[in-house]
Each structure stands twice: as structure tokens, then as C-alpha cells.
């Protein structure tokens, strides 16, 4: 036998390691890769690929774990709907007792459609339109998180004209670098989100004097995929200081929305810890008598979902081996948008233990950015072999497009022994069903 090169210490986790680290996945000797015991090959046989699969069991388990950690500090969980806004996902969250954090009128209506009570809904976002503010006021949601002086005036005028008074929190920008990818950092001074610390106290006092709003507290959300606690602690320390100075000047502060952002282990980095987050919240705010809430999206939904794909072909160009899948960046955008690393696991039990070689895993879309993984150790995969792209439950299907006239992929929910299609594959004709050709153009 040839001597093997030593494994570099920064080597990617192997296929067995990826499966072992994800309790809902297992590799069955005959059925291959299963999710909650359901063979993923059975789903792919019935529905085809590409296909999103989300586990209700994992969603529930993660929500329970988060709620248990937050119970100690009395914080309520508001699921960030944008991570995965499918009605079936929202139903699982609603049934588990989560409220919702929404960032658009569409998400507000989705949350209501899924049965989430208005008094459990919080509305964030830098550019809420007057129509969205009216919808929020008519629905009677719990709280609007206001992100600028301009929005504050707009909201007060809109609410006053409707004879209402909106409960608001000011979203502050604590100028903290969350140490995450630049495209998902939201709490630095140069980011578009929130109100500068220097302006917050003045604006809070201004809000207290306006007819259409009632300031009830503060909100802070510094970014996404945060796995260390230091950025949270820094943001919370600044928030505590502000609560103190607001109260010292006679202003009431009752609620604090601590945002989302808790990260997950896509590769082999540790998951963000709900217990550690609750600890940081307790240490900063425990003595202040505030009603606390959090708005996680990724931590709840990310590990619950995956994307099934089939190999179209394998090609070699120069020295590089390419595995071309039938899934692409229009389905899962995260690798091209954020250079995100996603685990890849073959569905076949034979492929899962075969010798591996580095390959670039790509989609068929006509962009070099349509790349899921570079130099990834994978077995030789024949055409039609299937793979699961792991941890795709958050910021996956919601960011899909139909670029290259590729219909939206099917979606399936697994729940114990049950599984069901929760969105059929989009028929190709649907892509142009709403397109109108002006009648001055020559008829076909
Ligand atoms: C996106 C977002 C969240 C959720 O972020 P995750 O990283 O998915 O937890 C929470 N709050 C606000 C205001 C957001 O914009």
C-alpha cells in the first residue's frame, strides 16, 4: 500500500463526521442516507431533484432547546420569518409557542396566515412603507422596531391619522463588529441598520412626546451567523448603558429585543450556544426588570433542512475534476453570495464509504459563481448519483430564483414516519404564465 500523506489539521470533516454531528441524519446500510429515519432516496424517487427537505422534528427540537435556555431569563422567542417563511415551517413554530419577527408586509401576512397571533409579532426593517405601517397598525401587532428619525415621524403621523398609538422600540446601532461575513453584519456604524448611539436618547425623548407612538423599549440586532459571545456582550453593554441614561432622564423602558444572529456549525465550527446567549443576556440585563425577547432565524431553521441534488455528469478540465449537479445557485445562493461552506453527503451507502478525491461541485447555471464547493473530498460519483447539501433550512429556498428559466424546486417536510410534499415543483409554464407580450409586437 502506498504511504498516505498526513491529513492536514484544517481538513474538511469527512462524510461520516458530517452525519455523526447531525442527530436527525443517519446512514442506513440498505436505504442510504435517512432524515428522521425517512430514506431520502424514497423522497427523490417520488419527487425528483432538486428538492428541499425540511425536518419538523428538528425544528421542534431546536425551538424547545432555545426556549428552555431562554426560560431562565424570561425571554420570549420570536422566529425570524425571513430564514424560512414556508407556512408549514411557520405552523411548527406557532404550535411550539414561538412568536414572529417580520421584515415586510408579506411576512406579516404569512405569519398571520400560519396562525401566529398579532400580539406575538414584531416588525423590523429599515424601509417599511406607509402601506406596511398601516397594515401593522390595523393588525395590532405587539411592537414595531423603528430604525430612523424619519421612520419615527412617518409612523407617528400615520398612526395618529388612524387614531392609534403604536408600541415601538428604537433599534439602535451599537457600532459592534459581529465578526461575521460583511454581507450579514448589521451592527457597525457604516451599516444601514438602526439608530446611531449618539442620537438614540434624543430620539427616544422625541418619541415620548409624539401622539402616534409609545416608546416601550430598545432593539439591537448586530448580524447573522455569530458563534462567539464577545460581540453580543459588547452590544449588550452599550444597550445597558443607554437604558440607564434613558431611565435617569425619566423615560420608561420596559422591553428589550436582543435580536437574532446565533450561528450554526456548517463545517465543524461550534454551534452558537443558546445557554451562553441567555447567560450574556442575564448578565447584562438581569437586574433591569426588562421584558426580554430574541429573534433567531438561522439557528432554528438552518440545521433542519437540506437540498437533494443529482449528479448530471462529472468532467475533468485540465487538472480539476468537476461534479455538475442538477441543483444550482438559483436554488441555494449562499455559497455564491456569502462564500458559504455547506456539507455534502452522498445518499448511497456505497458512495459514502468509497475512497475520496478532491472535486469542485458546481451547478449548471452560466456563471462561474455557481459553485457549491471547491476541492471537496468526495467519492467518484456516477451520473444520477444523489447528494444532500446539508444545513440548507435557513436562507435556502427563500432566496431561490428562477434564473436561467429554472423552475423553483419541490419542497418536502419530514415528520417522524410521515413525509409530504409542501410545495410541488413549479411547472415550467408557470415561469411565463404572468408575462404579457404587447399586442403591437408581431404575433407568433
Ligand atoms: C435577519 C434578522 C434576524 C434573524 O437573523 P438570524 O441570523 O437568522 O438569526 C433577526 N432580527 C432581524 C432584525 C433581522 O433582520
> What pLDDT does residue 142 have?
97
- Greatest CA separation found in the chain? 82
> What pLDDT does residue 415 have?
98
Sign of CA dihedral 393, 399, 402, 403: negative
User: To test the ligand 1 pocket, which listed residue (146, 191, 221) has its Cβ within 8 A of the most ligand atoms?
Assistant: 221
Counting from 1 in the atom list of ligand 1, the atom nearest the Cα of 295 is 10
CA 380 to chain centroid, in Å, comes to: 32
> What pLDDT does residue 253 have?
98
For ligand 1, atom 3, which residue shows the shortest CA distance?
260
Judged against a pLDDT cut of 70, whether residue 2 lies above it is answered with no
> What pLDDT does residue 6 have?
64
> What pLDDT does residue 5 have?
63
> What pLDDT does residue 1 have?
44
CA of 119 to the centre of ligand 1 (A): 19
Phi and psi angles of residue 159, each rounded to the nearest 5 degrees, phi first = -65, -45
Can you tell me the mean pLDDT for 188-194? 86
C-alpha angle 196-219-97 in degrees, rounded to nearest 5: 165
User: To test the ligand 1 pocket, which listed residue (76, 185, 297, 340) has its Cβ within 8 A of the most ligand atoms?
Assistant: 297
The span from the CA of 93 to the CA of 102, in Å, is 14
Percent with pLDDT over 70 in the chain? 98
What pTM did the predictor assign?
0.96
Can you tell me the mean pLDDT for 154-168? 98
CA of 125 to the centre of ligand 1 (A): 10
Cα radius of gyration (the chain):
24
First to last CA, the chain: 67
Can you tell me the mean pLDDT for 59-82? 98
The span from the CA of 302 to the CA of 260, in Å, is 13
Contact 341, 266 (CB under 8 A): yes
Binned at pLDDT 50, 70 and 90, residue 270 comes out as: confident
Range name among 215-219, 252-256, 316-320 with the lowest pLDDT average: 316-320
Mean pLDDT value across the chain: 96
Counting from 1 in the atom list of ligand 1, the atom nearest the Cα of 297 is 8
Q: Where are the beta strands (DSSP E) in 283-335?
A: 291-294, 305-317, 320-325
Contact 82, 103 (CB under 8 A): yes
> What pLDDT does residue 311 have?
98
What strands, in cross-sheet order, belong to the sheet with 32-35? 25-28, 32-35, 38-39
CA of 222 to the centre of ligand 1 (A): 9
> What pLDDT does residue 340 have?
97
Catalytic site includes residue 51 = no
Lining ligand 1 with CB less than 6 A are 80, 82-83, 101, 103, 124, 221, 224, 259-262, 295-299, 394
Amino acid at each position: 500500500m502506498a504511504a498516505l500523506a498526513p491529513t492536514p489539521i484544517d481538513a474538511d470533516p469527512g462524510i461520516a463526521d458530517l452525519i455523526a454531528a447531525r442527530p436527525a441524519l443517519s446512514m442506513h446500510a440498505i436505504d442510504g442516507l435517512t432524515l428522521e429515519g425517512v430514506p431520502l432516496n424514497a423522497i427523490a424517487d417520488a419527487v425528483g431533484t432538486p428538492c428541499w427537505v425540511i425536518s419538523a422534528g428538528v425544528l421542534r427540537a431546536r425551538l424547545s432547546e432555545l426556549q428552555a435556555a431562554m426560560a431562565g431569563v424570561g425571554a420570549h422567542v420570536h422566529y425570524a420569518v425571513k430564514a424560512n417563511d414556508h407556512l408549514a415551517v411557520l405552523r411548527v413554530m406557532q404550535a411550539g409557542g414561538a412568536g414572529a419577527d417580520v421584515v415586510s408586509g408579506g411576512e406579516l401576512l404569512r405569519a398571520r396566515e400560519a396562525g401566529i397571533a398579532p400580539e406575538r409579532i414584531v416588525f423590523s426593517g429599515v424601509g417599511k412603507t406607509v402601506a406596511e405601517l398601516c397594515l401593522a397598525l390595523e393588525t395590532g401587532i405587539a411592537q414595531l422596531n423603528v430604525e430612523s428619525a424619519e421612520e419615527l415621524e412617518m409612523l407617528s403621523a400615520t398612526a395618529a391619522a388612524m387614531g392609534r398609538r403604536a408600541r415601538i422600540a428604537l433599534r439602535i446601532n451599537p457600532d459592534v463588529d459581529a465578526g461575521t461575513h460583511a454581507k450579514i453584519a448589521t451592527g457597525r456604524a457604516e451599516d444601514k441598520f438602526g439608530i446611531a448611539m449618539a442620537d438614540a436618547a434624543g430620539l427616544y425623548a422625541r418619541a415620548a412626546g409624539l401622539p402616534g407612538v409609545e416608546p416601550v423599549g430598545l432593539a439591537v440586532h448586530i448580524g447573522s451567523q455569530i458563534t462567539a459571545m464577545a460581540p453580543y456582550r459588547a452590544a449588550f453593554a452599550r444597550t445597558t448603558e443607554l437604558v440607564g441614561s434613558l431611565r435617569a432622564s425619566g423615560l420608561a423602558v420596559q422591553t428589550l429585543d436582543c435580536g437574532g444572529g446565533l450561528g450554526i456549525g456548517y463545517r465543524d465550527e461550534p454551534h452558537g450556544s443558546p445557554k451562553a446567549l441567555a447567560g450574556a443576556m442575564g448578565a447584562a440585563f438581569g437586574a433591569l426588570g426588562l421584558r426580554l425577547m430574541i429573534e433567531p432565524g438561522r439557528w432554528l431553521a438552518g440545521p433542519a433542512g437540506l437540498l437533494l441534488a443529482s449528479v448530471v455528469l462529472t468532467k475533468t478540465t485540465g487538472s480539476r475534476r468537476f461534479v455538475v449537479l442538477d441543483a444550482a445557485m438559483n436554488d441555494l445562493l449562499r455559497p455564491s453570495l456569502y462564500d458559504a461552506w455547506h456539507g455534502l453527503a452522498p445518499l448511497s451507502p456505497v458512495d459514502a464509504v468509497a475512497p475520496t478525491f478532491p472535486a469542485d461541485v458546481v451547478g449548471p447555471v452560466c456563471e462561474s459563481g455557481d459553485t457549491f464547493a471547491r476541492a471537496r473530498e468526495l467519492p467518484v460519483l456516477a451520473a444520477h448519483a444523489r447528494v444532500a447539501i446539508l444545513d440548507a433550512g435557513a436562507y435556502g429556498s427563500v432566496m431561490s430564483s428562477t434564473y436561467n428559466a429554472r423552475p423553483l424546486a419541490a419542497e418536502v417536510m419530514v415528520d417522524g414516519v410521515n413525509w409530504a410534499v409542501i410545495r410541488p415543483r413549479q411547472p415550467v409554464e408557470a415561469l411565463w404564465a404572468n408575462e404579457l407580450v404587447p399586442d403591437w409586437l408581431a404575433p407568433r
